[in-house]
């Protein structure tokens, strides 16, 4: 009898051992078929938000709406690639807006559009049998129309601006795509023959840097312990009056609470005065630190003024280059001679680049960008992004250009 029970148990084990791989194979097969089905699911284009129009001074709302229609034409040409017509295995969320608020007089209307891929979840089906979206995925890229800063950051704040224009770093061309210049992950397309950028003179850049340094020094001086304490003392009487007014108002309903509040405020005023007076004393740690900072900002300002004064008229009018290297040979952002390793040219938009005789809503330039950021690269859809980029119909996009 024991032998019979052992035989039954052994047979059951052998049966289970043989069945488990079949279960796993069946599960893997189901997962694989779901993945294959997911890749075949037809996606759609989704407008993330209503198209936006932000009018400026030189164009009407009707002009901006026509510019959005031009963007739709560029978008349609962009989507001619089979991977997007229709999209399979993902949706595409796109947002578009025409922003004319800072457009120079006579220039066409700039329009921007962002594209995001939304993947599907193979483990979650909807009641209709389709796979559910798993949320916004990687950035496919973007399309901008009638902007010049393709391949460079828009209006670099650390470079500054003067009364004439914003300053930009000159985009460094890294290659050609279908005959169009590429800078990093962006390609600039246009039929215009005028230069896109004009050089900023060394004098203009140095004057902006000097004004920045003066403002910093002024702010540092105002924040010194002595000046801060003097400003605090100047406002002492006004604060006491406000405390009393607040007390009198509260006392109408609760005099005890009002008296306690006033006592707390007066004590805080007293302690703050002691602390600020201590910091303002000669020889205090705060005073020493502020003095060092004042000396540093003053030194920077004097160095910039000396650099500008040392230049000849020809050197002042020459194109500006700022240092962007990492070897410490110069300070980052310092104006350096042309040809310095690690230097980048400073430029501003050519006011005569666009054809002013064309309607403001026509596309005179198109910038096509593809995302190469780490968030996109970590997504399973990243190879799809690269394939879309490689298979774009550049000729169809170029036909929209005027």
CB within 8 Å of 2: residues ≥ 6 apart? none
Residue 57 lies in a domain: yes
Distance CA 118, CA 93 (A): 7
Structural domain ending residue among the three candidates 318, 341, 373:
318
Phi/psi for 271 (5° steps) reads -65, -40
Buried b (16+ CB within 10 A) or exposed e, 284-297: eebbeebeebeeeb
Q: Verify cis geometry, omega within 30 degrees of 0, for the bond prior to 176.
A: no
How does residue 217 score in pLDDT terms, banded at 50, 70 and 90? confident
Query: Could you report the per-residue pLDDT of 353-393, keeping only the tens digit for each?
Result: 999 999 999 999 999 998 777 777 888 888 888 999 889 99
Does the pLDDT at position 92 exceed 70?
A: yes
Count of domains forming the chain:
3
Q: What is the mean pLDDT of residues 63-70?
A: 95
Which residue range(s) make up the domain with 30?
1-40
The verdict on 94 and 118 lying in the same domain is yes
Does the pLDDT at position 21 exceed 90?
A: no
Supply the pLDDT for residue 253: 92
Does the pLDDT at position 14 exceed 70?
A: no
The verdict on 260 and 290 lying in the same domain is yes
How does residue 31 score in pLDDT terms, banded at 50, 70 and 90? low
How does residue 190 score in pLDDT terms, banded at 50, 70 and 90? very high
Does the pLDDT at position 10 exceed 60?
A: no
Residue 218 lies in a domain: yes
Residue 334 lies in a domain: no
The verdict on 174 and 215 lying in the same domain is no
The verdict on 87 and 15 lying in the same domain is no
Does the pLDDT at position 154 exceed 60?
A: no
The verdict on 15 and 115 lying in the same domain is no
pTM confidence score: 0.74
Supply the pLDDT for residue 116: 92
Residue 308 lies in a domain: yes
Calculate the average pLDDT of the chain. 86
Strand, helix or coil at 110?
coil
Number of other CB atoms surrounding residue 203 within 10 Å? 17
The verdict on 56 and 198 lying in the same domain is yes
CB within 8 Å of 38: residues ≥ 6 apart? 89, 120, 122, 131
Buried b (16+ CB within 10 A) or exposed e, 143-169: bbbbbbbbbbeebbeebbbeeebbbbb
- Locate tokens 């399309």: which residue? 143
Residue 327 lies in a domain: no
The verdict on 163 and 220 lying in the same domain is no
> Between 162 and 28, where is the model more confident?
162
Residue 330 lies in a domain: no
Does the pLDDT at position 7 exceed 50?
A: no
The verdict on 80 and 171 lying in the same domain is yes
The verdict on 55 and 179 lying in the same domain is yes
Q: Which range among 242-246, 327-331, 372-376 shows the weakest confidence by mean pLDDT?
A: 372-376
Residue 230 lies in a domain: yes
Residue 169 lies in a domain: yes
Distance CA 134, CA 20 (A): 31
Distance CA 222, CA 241 (A): 25
Structural domain ending residue among the three candidates 302, 318, 334:
318
How does residue 96 score in pLDDT terms, banded at 50, 70 and 90? very high
The verdict on 181 and 269 lying in the same domain is no
Q: What is the DSSP string of 182-238?
A: EETTEEEEE---S-SEEEPBHHHHHHHHHHHHHHHHHHHHHTSHHHHHHHHHHTHHH
The verdict on 265 and 309 lying in the same domain is yes
Query: Could you report the per-residue pLDDT of 262-308, keeping only the tens digit for each?
Result: 999 999 989 998 888 888 887 787 777 877 878 888 889 999 999 99
Strand partners, 111: 98, 145
The verdict on 36 and 47 lying in the same domain is no
Q: What is the mean pLDDT of residues 88-104?
A: 92
């Amino acid at each position: 009898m024991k032998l019979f029970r052992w035989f039954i148990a052994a047979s059951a084990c052998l049966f289970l051992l043989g069945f488990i791989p079949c279960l796993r194979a069946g599960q893997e097969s189901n997962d694989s078929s779901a993945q294959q089905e997911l890749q075949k699911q037809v996606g759609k284009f989704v407008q993330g938000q209503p198209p936006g129009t932000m009018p400026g001074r030189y164009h009407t709302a009707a002009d901006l709406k026509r510019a959005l229609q031009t963007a739709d034409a560029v978008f349609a040409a962009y989507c001619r690639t089979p991977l997007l017509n229709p999209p399979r295995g993902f949706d595409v969320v796109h947002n578009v807006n025409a922003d004319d608020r800072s457009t120079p007089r006579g220039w066409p209307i700039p329009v921007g559009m962002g594209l995001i891929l939304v993947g599907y979840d193979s483990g979650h089906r909807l009641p209709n049998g389709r796979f559910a979206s798993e949320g916004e995925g990687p950035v496919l890229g973007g399309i901008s129309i009638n902007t010049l800063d393709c391949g460079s950051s828009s209006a670099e704040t650390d470079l500054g601006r003067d009364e004439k224009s914003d300053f930009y770093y000159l985009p460094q061309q890294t290659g050609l795509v279908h005959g169009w210049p590429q800078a990093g992950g962006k390609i600039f397309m246009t039929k215009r023959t005028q230069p896109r950028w004009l050089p900023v003179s060394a004098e203009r850049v140095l004057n902006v840097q000097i004004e920045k340094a003066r403002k910093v020094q002024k702010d540092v001086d105002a924040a010194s312990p002595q000046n801060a304490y003097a400003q605090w003392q100047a406002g002492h009487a006004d604060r006491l009056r406000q405390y009393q007014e607040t007390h009198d108002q509260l006392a109408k309903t609760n005099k005890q609470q009002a008296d306690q509040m006033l006592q707390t405020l007066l004590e805080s005023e007293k302690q703050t005065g002691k602390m600020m007076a201590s910091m303002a004393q000669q020889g205090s740690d705060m005073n020493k630190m502020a003095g060092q900072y004042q000396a540093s900002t003053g030194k920077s300002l004097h160095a910039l003024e000396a650099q500008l004064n040392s230049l000849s008229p020809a050197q002042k009018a020459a194109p500006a280059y700022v240092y962007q290297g990492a070897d410490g040979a110069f300070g980052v952002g310092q104006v350096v001679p042309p040809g310095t390793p690690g230097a980048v040219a400073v430029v501003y938009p050519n006011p005569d680049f666009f054809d002013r005789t064309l309607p403001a809503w026509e596309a005179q330039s198109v910038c096509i960008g593809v995302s190469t950021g780490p968030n996109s690269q970590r997504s399973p859809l990243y190879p799809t992004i690269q394939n879309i980029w490689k298979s774009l119909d550049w000729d169809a996009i170029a036909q929209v250009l005027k």
